[in-house]
Amino acid sequence: MKKVIVLLGFVLIGLLFVSSTGIPLQAAIPASERAALIAFYNATKGDNWFDNEGWKTPPLHSDGFAMPGTENNWYGIWVSENHVNEIRLSSNHLLGRIPPRLGNLGNLQELSLQFNWLSGGIPPELGNLGNLLWLNLGVNQLSGSIPPELGNLGNLQWLNLGPNQLSGGIPPELGNLGNLESLSLSSNRLSGNIPTSLTNLTNLSYLAILKNCLYTDDPDLNAWLNSFHPGWERSQCEGEKNPPFGSFDTPIDGSTVSSSIPVTGWALDDYGIDSVKIYREQGDTLVYIGEGVFVEGARPDVAAANPVYPNNTKAGWGYMMLTNFLPNNGNGTFVIHAVVTDVVGKATTLGTKTIHCDNANAVKPFGTINTPSQGGSASGSNFINWGWVLTPQPNHIPTDGSTINVYVDGVSLGNPNYNIYKSDIATLFPGFANSNGAAGYFNLDTTVYENGVHTIQWTARDSNGNTDGIGSRYFSIRNTGNPGLNKQSNQEKPGPQTLIPNFSKITHMPVDYPVTVRVKKGFEEDTEPRFVHSDAQGISRIKIKEIERIQIYLTDEYDDNSTVPLLNSSSFSGYLLVNQRLKPLPVGSILDAHRGIFYWQPGPGFIGEYRFVFIEKVQNQDVSRKDIMLKIVPRFE
User: Among candidates 408, 375, 413, which has minimal Cα distance to 291?
Assistant: 375
In a domain, 8, yes or no: no
Q: Mean pLDDT across the stretch 549-565?
A: 72
Tens of pLDDT, residues 284-293: 999 999 999 9
Give the torsion through C-alpha atoms of 244, 247, 253, 257, to 10 deg: -100
In this structure, the answer to whether residues 577 and 435 fall within a common structural domain is no
In this structure, the answer to whether residues 150 and 278 fall within a common structural domain is no
Give the Cα separation of 508 and 513 in Å (integer). Answer: 14
In a domain, 5, yes or no: no
Q: What residue type is assigned to position 567 of the chain? A: L
Percent of the chain having pLDDT more than 90? 65
In this structure, the answer to whether residues 546 and 411 fall within a common structural domain is no
Tell me: pLDDT of 29 over 70. yes
In a domain, 585, yes or no: yes
Q: Mean pLDDT across the stretch 22-50?
A: 86
Predicted local confidence at residue 512, as pLDDT: 66
Q: pLDDT-derived band of residue 561, with 50, 70 and 90 as boundaries?
A: low
In this structure, the answer to whether residues 273 and 173 fall within a common structural domain is no
Domain ranges, residue 231: 21-235
Note whether 459 and 468 are within 8 A (CB). yes
In this structure, the answer to whether residues 348 and 383 fall within a common structural domain is no
- The angle subtended at Cα 597 by Cα 591 and Cα 602, nearest 5°, is 60
In this structure, the answer to whether residues 293 and 196 fall within a common structural domain is no
Q: Mean pLDDT across the stretch 573-601?
A: 90
Predicted local confidence at residue 353, as pLDDT: 97
Final residue of a domain: which of 477, 492, 519? 477
Predicted local confidence at residue 240, as pLDDT: 52
- Measured over the CA atoms of residue 168, residue 88, residue 110 and residue 160, the dihedral's sign is negative
Predicted local confidence at residue 516, as pLDDT: 82
Tell me: pLDDT of 7 over 70. no
In this structure, the answer to whether residues 85 and 228 fall within a common structural domain is yes
DSSP 446-491: GGGS-SEEEEEEEEEE-TT--EEEEEEEEEEE--SS---SBTTTTB
In this structure, the answer to whether residues 420 and 516 fall within a common structural domain is no
Predicted local confidence at residue 562, as pLDDT: 56
Tell me: pLDDT of 494 over 70. no
Instruction: Collect all residues with Cβ–Cβ distance below 8 Å to 512 and sequence separation of at least 6.
Output: 534, 538, 616, 624, 625, 626
In a domain, 494, yes or no: no
Q: Mean pLDDT across the stretch 524-547?
A: 87
In a domain, 329, yes or no: yes
Q: What residue type is assigned to position 606 of the chain? A: F
Q: How many residues does the chain have?
A: 637
- Bridge partners of 260, per DSSP, are 322
Report which secondary-structure segment, H or E, holds 566.
none
- Bridge partners of 444, per DSSP, are 383
User: Among candidates 531, 381, 538, which has minimal Cα distance to 444?
Assistant: 381
Q: pLDDT-derived band of residue 6, with 50, 70 and 90 as boundaries?
A: very low
Overall number of domains in the chain: 4
In this structure, the answer to whether residues 94 and 196 fall within a common structural domain is yes
Q: Mean pLDDT across the stretch 303-323?
A: 89
Predicted local confidence at residue 101, as pLDDT: 95
Convert 128-148 to b/e letters by CB count within 10 Å (16 or more is b).
bbebbbbbbbbbbebeeebbe
In a domain, 4, yes or no: no
DSSP structural state of residue 152? G
Report the chain's mean pLDDT, rounded to a whole number.
87
Give the Cα separation of 10 and 26 in Å (integer). Answer: 16
Give the Cα separation of 334 and 356 in Å (integer). Answer: 6
Note whether 166 and 190 are within 8 A (CB). yes
Tell me: pLDDT of 486 over 60. no
Give the Cα separation of 85 and 187 in Å (integer). Answer: 29
In this structure, what CATH number is given to the domain that contains residue 305?
Answer: 2.60.40.650
Q: What residue type is assigned to position 596 of the chain? A: G
Give the Cα separation of 378 and 587 in Å (integer). Answer: 16
Lowest-confidence region among 42-56, 378-392, 562-576: 562-576
Q: Mean pLDDT across the stretch 94-114?
A: 95
In a domain, 165, yes or no: yes
Tell me which of 385 and 581 has the higher pLDDT.
385
Strand order in the sheet with 293-294: 245-250, 260-268, 316-322, 293-294
Highest mean pLDDT among 10-14, 272-276, 527-531, 630-634: 630-634
Convert 164-199 to b/e letters by CB count within 10 Å (16 or more is b).
bebbeebbbbbbbbeebebbbbbbbebeeebbebbb
User: Among candidates 360, 362, 284, which has minimal Cα distance to 328?
Assistant: 360
In this structure, the answer to whether residues 375 and 356 fall within a common structural domain is no
In this structure, the answer to whether residues 229 and 193 fall within a common structural domain is yes
In this structure, what CATH number is given to the domain that contains residue 34?
Answer: 3.80.10.10
In this structure, what CATH number is given to the domain that contains residue 538?
Answer: 2.60.40.10
Final residue of a domain: which of 305, 340, 361? 361
In a domain, 2, yes or no: no
Predicted local confidence at residue 392, as pLDDT: 95
Final residue of a domain: which of 361, 396, 430? 361
Instruction: Collect all residues with Cβ–Cβ distance below 8 Å to 285 and sequence separation of at least 6.
Output: none
Q: pLDDT-derived band of residue 436, with 50, 70 and 90 as boundaries?
A: very high
Report which secondary-structure segment, H or E, holds 2.
helix 2-16
Q: Mean pLDDT across the stretch 201-227?
A: 89
Tell me which of 210 and 385 has the higher pLDDT.
385
**Which segments of 133-241 does DSSP mark as H helices, in order?**
219-228
In this structure, the answer to whether residues 352 and 425 fall within a common structural domain is no
Note whether 268 and 309 are within 8 A (CB). yes
pTM of the model: 0.62
